[in-house]
């Protein structure tokens, strides 16, 4: 059971103490507090843990500080969308709002290689009105002999450049807890020039110890990719690990499933699950057309498969697009063959706009028919 408290309830107020005293009378129930400090208000939710079946919902609703009460189902307790659960799906990070009805494009380098390419990428993003990007510094690679990313060495210039070009959020995969401190340190050094969204890659979706550590910090939001060879339920439970440790600024990323049934694509595109994840949870949903398609192949209509699947995800309501671009794809150290080129960015963004408008119209259409 979740008690959603009246916004801006102070935890040192006598009313809140009264509420705790009431709860202490429920046998076998412990509490856990989740506080979300937003731009406009602070929201607090009190989780009652234990067997809450016998607690009458109406009694709890009338307790001091309580705004509303949600009875949670067992699954995805924190991130899940429960019955009569109309809690907000938003979170704000570094001036950017993420939710189940926002849309942001994170175009950028799969892996940072040289400073010049980082600058070219950031500049083209700024020139096209973008405030988010992707920049890989820690790369999990199949072969130990492949380029592993520049790691902490590239962070200062990546962050500085982001500041220079007005980039507010960089999606960056981390593969080890030590990377968190390296990112913090580089942000400190560069005077907080930008923000970072930590990315848990598909190879680490069930790295539970990493999830717990990333979940315990609330400074950075987290993009968790679906595991490539596990069920959707298993991946959603992995996301729940982050939230159960305290970090609810979580975005769920679809990036295709590893199976040769998806050939000739790199992975089997799974964007049909966009509405499913939005129905089962309150997480914004990201699609990664680059790692799911994995090639620059196009169809006879002249549209690249990467762009086709992006539009398919957007028209189904996706909230974020993580996509590989590179100024000189033939020189990219990782995933050059699937990267889009700088000159394709305006077309890509316009194409996304078309799909987004179609999605908005579809939502309006269903509402109109429901009202009739």
In which residue are the tokens 């960089």 written? Answer: 170
CA-to-CA distance for 50 and 62, rounded, in angstroms?
20
> What's the closest the beta carbon of residue 295 comes to ligand PEP, in angstroms?
15
- Residue 9 is a binding residue for ligand PEP (CB under 6 A): no
- Residue 80 is a binding residue for ligand PEP (CB under 6 A): no
CA-to-CA distance for 167 and 159, rounded, in angstroms?
9
- Specify the stretch interacting with Mn ion by CB under 5 A; choose among 29-37, 59-67, 233-241, 333-341: 333-341
Closer Cβ to ligand PEP, 65 or 107, answer by number: 107
- Nearest to residue 198, comparing CAs of 210, 189, 185, 190? 210
Q: H/E element holding 210?
A: helix 208-216
Closer Cβ to ligand PEP, 25 or 142, answer by number: 142
Position among 80, 108, 136, 313 found at the interface with ligand PEP (CB under 6 A): 136
Position among 45, 113, 160, 173 found at the interface with ligand PEP (CB under 6 A): 173
List, in sequence order, every residue forming a beta bridge with 159; answer none if it has no partner: none
| Binding footprint of Mn ion, residue count (CB under 5 A) | 2
Closer Cβ to ligand PEP, 162 or 332, answer by number: 332
Phi, psi of 156 (to 5 degrees): -55, -45
- Residue 150 is a binding residue for ligand PEP (CB under 6 A): no
> What's the closest the beta carbon of residue 106 comes to ligand PEP, in angstroms?
10
Phi, psi of 162 (to 5 degrees): -60, -45
Say which DSSP state 33 is in.
E
> What's the closest the beta carbon of residue 362 comes to ligand PEP, in angstroms?
27
Residues 6+ apart with CB under 8 A from 27: none
CA-to-CA distance for 170 and 104, rounded, in angstroms?
12
Task: List binders of Mn ion among 76-135 (CB under 5 A).
Answer: 110
CA-to-CA distance for 166 and 177, rounded, in angstroms?
28
* DSSP-based helix, strand, coil % in the chain, nearest 5: 40, 20, 40
Q: H/E element holding 112?
A: none
Read off the tokens for 23: 């709860």
Task: List binders of Mn ion among 249-278 (CB under 5 A).
Answer: none
Angle at 10 between CA 284 and CA 94, to 5 degrees: 35
CA-to-CA distance for 61 and 282, rounded, in angstroms?
22
Task: List binders of ligand PEP among 184-213 (CB under 6 A).
Answer: 201-202
> What's the closest the beta carbon of residue 255 comes to ligand PEP, in angstroms?
4
Closer Cβ to ligand PEP, 44 or 202, answer by number: 202
Encoded one letter per residue, x for contact with ligand PEP by CB under 6 A and - for no contact, window 227-266 reads ----------------------------x-----------
In the complex, which residue's CB is closest to ligand PEP? Answer: 201
Position among 225, 248, 273, 278 found at the interface with ligand PEP (CB under 6 A): 225
CA-to-CA distance for 249 and 270, rounded, in angstroms?
23
202 binds, among ligand PEP, Mn ion, none (CB under 5 to 8 A by kind): ligand PEP
CA-to-CA distance for 146 and 69, rounded, in angstroms?
52
Closer Cβ to ligand PEP, 108 or 195, answer by number: 108
- Residue 173 is a binding residue for Mn ion (CB under 5 A): no
Query: How many helices (H) does the chain have, and how many strands (E)?
Result: 11, 15
> What's the closest the beta carbon of residue 288 comes to Mn ion, in angstroms?
9
- Residue 110 is a binding residue for ligand PEP (CB under 6 A): yes
In which residue are the tokens 């769920």 written? Answer: 252
173 binds, among Mn ion, ligand PEP, none (CB under 5 to 8 A by kind): ligand PEP
> What's the closest the beta carbon of residue 351 comes to ligand PEP, in angstroms?
21
> What's the closest the beta carbon of residue 121 comes to ligand PEP, in angstroms?
14
CB 277 within 8 A of CB 81: no
Contact positions vs ligand PEP (CB under 6 A)? 110, 136, 173, 201-202, 225, 255, 288, 291
Contact positions vs Mn ion (CB under 5 A)? 110, 335
């Amino acid at each position: 059971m979740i008690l959603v408290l009246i916004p801006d309830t102070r935890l040192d107020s006598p009313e809140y103490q009264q509420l705790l005293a009431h709860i202490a009378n429920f046998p076998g129930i412990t509490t856990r507090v989740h506080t979300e400090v937003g731009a406009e208000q602070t929201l607090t939710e009190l989780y009652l843990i234990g067997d809450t079946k016998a607690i009458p919902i109406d009694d709890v609703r009338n307790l001091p500080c309580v705004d509303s009460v949600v009875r949670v189902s067992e699954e995805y307790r924190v991130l899940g969308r429960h019955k009569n659960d109309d809690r907000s799906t938003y979170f704000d990070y570094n001036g950017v709002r993420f939710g189940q009805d926002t849309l942001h494009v994170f175009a950028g380098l799969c892996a940072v290689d040289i400073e010049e390419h980082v600058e070219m990428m950031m500049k083209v993003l700024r020139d096209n009105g973008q405030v988010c990007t992707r920049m890989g510094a820690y790369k999990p690679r199949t072969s130990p002999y492949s380029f592993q990313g520049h790691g902490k060495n590239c962070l200062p210039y990546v962050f500085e450049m982001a500041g220079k070009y007005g980039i507010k959020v960089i999606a960056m995969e981390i593969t080890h807890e030590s990377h968190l401190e390296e990112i913090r340190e580089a942000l400190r050094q560069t005077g907080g020039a930008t923000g970072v969204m930590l990315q848990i890659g598909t190879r680490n979706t069930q790295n539970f110890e990493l999830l717990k550590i990333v979940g315990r910090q609330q400074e950075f939001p987290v993009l968790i990719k679906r595991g490539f060879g596990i069920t959707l339920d298993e991946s959603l439970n992995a996301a729940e690990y982050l939230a159960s440790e305290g970090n609810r600024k979580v975005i769920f990323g679809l990036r295709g499933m590893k199976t040769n049934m998806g050939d000739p694509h790199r992975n089997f595109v799974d964007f049909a699950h966009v509405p499913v994840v939005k129905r089962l949870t309150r997480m914004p949903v990201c699609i990664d057309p680059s790692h799911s398609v994995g090639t620059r192949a196009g169809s006879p209509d002249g549209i690249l498969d990467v762009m086709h699947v992006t539009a398919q995800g957007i028209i189904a309501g996706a909230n974020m697009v993580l996509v590989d671009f590179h100024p000189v794809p033939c020189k990219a150290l990782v995933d050059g063959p699937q990267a889009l080129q700088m000159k394709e960015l305006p077309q890509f963004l316009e194409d996304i706009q078309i799909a987004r408008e179609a999605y908005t119209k579809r939502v309006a259409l269903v509402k109109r028919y429901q009202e009739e």
